[in-house]
Amino acid sequence: MILLSGPAGAAPADGVYDGFDCKAPVSDQRVTLRGDRISYYETSCRLTDPVSVAGWGDATLFWAECRGEGQEWRERTLVMTRMGGDLIVVGDGWAERYAPCPDRKPESE
């Protein structure tokens, strides 16, 4: 589970999620939440400064400090789950939905 300090409450639990197919051995649509990190196919971000979004369940707004493909950047990122366990990730001008992959463990991704 993501450990939060400050004004944030519960955030989405650690897990592996995929936009298309959890059973595929490799997927560029796979996302892993583990501790204070969210990892994509070729990018990993450290999630900092969590703030709960009042009235939105586990929705938490972070600063994401990211590295990938030879670049480094920092951006605001909203992470939440919806009914059914799907992970929703929202950034500046984009949003993605990922289904949970219960047979995959974050420590093995």
Which residue has tokens 């994401």?
64
CB 1 within 8 A of CB 79: no
Which residue has tokens 């900092």?
48
CA atoms of 39 and 26, how far apart (whole Å): 14
The domains of the chain are located at 15-108
User: What does the pLDDT read at residue 10?
Assistant: 61
pLDDT per residue of the chain (109 residues) written in tens, 0 to 9: 344 434 445 677 899 999 999 999 999 999 999 999 999 999 999 999 999 999 998 999 999 999 999 999 999 999 999 888 999 999 999 999 999 999 998 877 7
Which residue has tokens 């592996």?
16
CA atoms of 45 and 56, how far apart (whole Å): 23
**Of the CATH numbers 2.40.128, 1.10.1760, 3.40.190, 3.10.20, which one belongs to the domain with range 15-108?**
2.40.128
